[in-house]
Chains A and B, each alone.
Chain A
Amino acid sequence: MRLNYPTNIKIIRVPCTGKVDIIHILRAFEKGADGVYAVGCMEGECHYNSGNLRARKRIEQAQKILDAIGVGGERVQMRNLSSAEGPRFAQYAVEMDELIRKLGPNPIKVAAKDKAA
């Protein structure tokens, strides 16, 4: 298909989105990520039955924590697609890129840079 998607997106492979924990998401922000999104299988079609539903719950919890500490919960998103949907994968990447550009850089990264300077 030779589809393009923004190059600033780093893919971290996990066996299932059910592996993604809140701490992984928070650490990403601590290390300077501007946004994190988990792309899981379609709901109801998880190989492990409920991995993607667990991921959604954890994303929601991470959103609440990030809202409470002033980073912004919107920076974390959950998306679902089937493994045959390449165009949708690219579309999600573009949407996420646009959303994060609108929100600006991760305030933690900015604060850390200010402190170092």
Chain B
Amino acid sequence: MIVADKKPIEEIIEDLKNYSKILILGCNECVTVCEAGGKKEVGILASALRMYFLNKGKEIKIDEITLERQCDHEYLEEIRDSVDKYEAVLSLACGVGVQFVAEKYQSIPVHPGVNTCFLGVTEKRGLWTERCQACGKCMLSKTAGICPVSRCAKRLLNGPCGGSTKGKCEISKELDCAWQLIVDRLKMLGKMDDFENIIPLKDWSTDRAGGPRKVAREDVQL
């Protein structure tokens, strides 16, 4: 899932201080799971902003809508009839949602309400960690299901490096060395022979290095 974190309310206030009709738009997908931009967070933020502006003596109308997703036309269409009533939209979706709102509703300013962080997992409630960098060419079959691109600080394809100490990375004692994890798991699977195979240079053109990417599937396009 896409993991996002809340923006400080001070930053949001600064962004919205000149508007008098605002729509706070939540998203029911990833940001709901990581408790940053779901219906609940929309309600809390709307209430807090209403009180802040009232306290400053400013009359402001704040409405709340939470869509199933903000990254699909069909769900974003749900606000087409009502969006013109507002001077600005504060989207609590990830950066994808914010941009899609801006793309579809060109005349209305859109502001982000969260900081989009990474693709990751919920390790436990309140703790999310990175697992994927969307490099576009998955090599997990060669690395025992543990990704060195996202979890090794150096993105080493043939590790570990000399900075690996007692299973931890040199950049932080709390960070597991991805290559230590890979070796441990290869041992467990009885596949240490695979460790001898050198992984060749990676084609990074499918990563961000190749510019913005797209997936075009003619087989499913109508």
**Looking at the complex, which of A40-48, A65-73, A85-93 is the stretch in contact with chain B?**
A65-73
Q: Which of A8-16, A76-84, A96-104, A106-114 contacts B (4 or more CB under 8 A)?
A: A106-114
Q: With both chains docked as a complex, state the minimum distance between the C-beta of A87 and any C-beta of chain B, in angstroms.
A: 35
Show the binding face of B for A, using Cβ within 8 Å: 8-10, 40, 43-44, 47-52, 54-57, 59
Of A30, A107, A111, which one neighbours B47 at CB under 8 angstroms?
A: A30
A-B contact number at CB 8 A: 47
Q: Are A69 and B59 in contact, CB atoms less than 8 angstroms apart?
A: no
| In the complex, chain B residues whose CB is within 8 Å of the CB of A23 | 40, 43-44, 47
**With A65-B9, A108-B51 in contact, is A115–B44 under 8 Å at CB?**
no
In whole angstroms, how far apart are the Cα atoms of A65 and B9 in the complex?
8
Residues on A with C-beta less than 8 A from B56 are: 70, 111
Inter-chain contacts of A114 with B (CB < 8 A): 57
Interface secondary structure of B, over-half rule: helix
- State the CA gap A103–B49 with chains docked (Å): 22
Contact with A111, one of B9, B44, B54 (Cβ below 8 angstroms): B54
Question: Contact at B55–A71, with CB atoms within 8 Å?
Answer: yes
CB nearest neighbor in A for B54: A111
Contacts of A26 in B (CB 8 A): 44, 47-48, 51
Contact A65 B44 (CB under 8 A): yes
Q: Give which listed residue, A22, A30, A65, A68, contacts B50 with CB less than 8 A.
A: A30
B9 and A69 contacting across the interface, CB-CB below 8 Å:
yes
List the A side residues contacting B49 at CB < 8 Å. Answer: 69
Give min CB distance, A67 to chain B, whole Å: 10
The listed residue with most A CB atoms (<10 A of its CB), out of B10, B47, B50, B56, is B47
The 4 closest A-B pairs by CB, nearest first: A69-B52, A26-B47, A68-B9, A23-B43
A2 interface hit (Cβ, 8 Å): no
The smallest beta-carbon distance between A109 and chain B, in angstroms, is 10
Other A-B contacts than A68-B9, A112-B54, A115-B57, 10 sampled, CB-CB below 8 A, are A21-B40, A23-B43, A68-B48, A68-B52, A69-B51, A69-B52, A70-B52, A70-B55, A111-B56, A115-B54
Q: Mark A3-29, 1 if CB is under 8 A from B, else 0.
A: 000000000000000000111001101
Q: List, sorted by A's number, 13 A–B pairs whose CB atoms are closer than 8 Å.
A: A23-B43, A26-B44, A30-B47, A68-B9, A69-B48, A70-B52, A71-B51, A108-B55, A111-B56, A111-B57, A112-B54, A115-B57, A115-B59
Q: Which residues of A contact B48 (CB under 8 A)?
A: 26, 65, 68-69
Q: What's the least CB distance linking A21 to chain B, in Å? A: 7
Nearest-Cβ distance from residue A56 to partner chain B, whole angstroms? 14
B residues in contact with A27, CB < 8 Å: 47
Q: Are A108 and B40 in contact (CB under 8 A)?
A: no
Bound state CA distance, A80 and B172, in angstroms?
39
* A26 CA / B51 CA spacing, docked (Å): 9
Separation of A32 and B52 alpha carbons in the complex (Å): 14
Nearest Cβ distance between residue A95 and chain B, in whole angstroms? Answer: 25
Report how far A69 CA is from B43 CA in the complex, Å: 15
Chain B residue with Cβ nearest A61:
B44
Q: A112: nearest residue on chain B (CB-CB)?
A: B54
B51 & A30 in contact (Cβ 8 Å cutoff): yes
